[in-house]
Amino acid sequence: MASLARRHGPLALVHLDAHLDTWDTYFGAPCTHGTPFRRASEEGLLVKDRSAHVGIRGSLFDRADLLDDAALGFTAVHARDVDDIGVRGIIERVRQRVGEHPVYVSVDIDMLDPAFAPGTGTPEAGGLTSRELLAVLRGIADLPLVGADVVEVSPAYDHAEVTAVAAANVAYELVTALALRVGARR
Ligand SMILES: [Mn+2]
C-alpha cells in the first residue's frame, strides 16, 4: 500500500473482513494482523472518509473500538446488514464511499462464513457466502482499482480445499478487475 500511495496519493480502502484490523495494538504488539490499517492511516496512506469495511462481525475488545475506527475515517457494513440491504445494497454503499478515488481492495478470507472458508486462523460465525463475496467484487470491479490482496488463508486448517477454492476465485476476480484498469489506461 505504501508504494501504491506514493504513486497514486492516499488511497481509498475497501476492506472485506470479519474484523476491523484498526486496533492500536493486538496482544500488546503494534504491527500485527489486527493493526495494519491503523498503521496505514497513521502513515497517511488512506484518504480520510473514503474507506469501508465489509463483513464486520468480529469480537470487540474495547468500548472505543468502533468509535476509534470511525475516527480513522472508516464506515462499516456489518455482516448482518446483508440481510437487510443485500448484495446490491453493499455494492451501492461501497461505491458511494469510494467515489472516484484510487482504491485498494483487501480481502481477508475470514469475511466469509466458516462454511465457505474454514481454513483460516480466526473464523467467525455468521459471515457472507462465497457467492455474495464474488458478487460484491464483480459489482465494484469498475472502480479505479490500483492494488489488492487476499490474506488469512491457512491451508493447515482447510478441508477439501474449500477455502482455497474460494480464495482462488476471489484472486481471479481481483486480477481481472486490475486487468480492466490496465486495459483502460492504454
Ligand atoms: Mn479477519
116 Cα–ligand 1 center, Å:
14
184 Cα–ligand 1 center, Å:
32
pLDDT at 185 > cutoff 70: no
132 Cα–ligand 1 center, Å:
17
154 Cα–ligand 1 center, Å:
12
pLDDT, residue 124, reads 96
65 Cα–ligand 1 center, Å:
15
DSSP state of 157: G
77 Cα–ligand 1 center, Å:
14
CA dihedral 6, 33, 24, 144 (to 10 degrees): 40
185 Cα–ligand 1 center, Å:
33
DSSP state of 76: E
71-75: Cβ within 8 A, 24+ apart: 72/22, 72/37, 72/38, 72/41, 72/46, 72/48, 73/41, 73/46, 73/47, 73/48, 73/49, 74/15, 74/20, 74/22, 74/37, 75/51
**What number is the average pLDDT over the span 156-181?**
96
Question: Average per-residue pLDDT in the chain?
Answer: 94
pLDDT at 12 > cutoff 90: yes
For 140-156, the pLDDT digits (tens) are 999 999 999 999 999 99
**What number is the average pLDDT over the span 85-114?**
97
6 Cα–ligand 1 center, Å:
26
**What number is the average pLDDT over the span 154-167?**
97
Q: Domain ranges in the chain?
A: 2-185
At the second CATH level, the architecture of 2-185 is 3-Layer(aba) Sandwich (3.40)
**Percent of the chain surpassing pLDDT 70:** 98
Q: What pTM did the predictor assign? A: 0.94
Of 121, 126, 112, give the one whose Cα is nearest residue 167.
112
Confidence of residue 137 (pLDDT cuts 50, 70, 90): very high
CA distance 132 to 34: 24
3-state secondary structure 79-119: CCHHHHHHHHHHHHHHHHHHCCCCEEEEEEHHHECCCCCCC
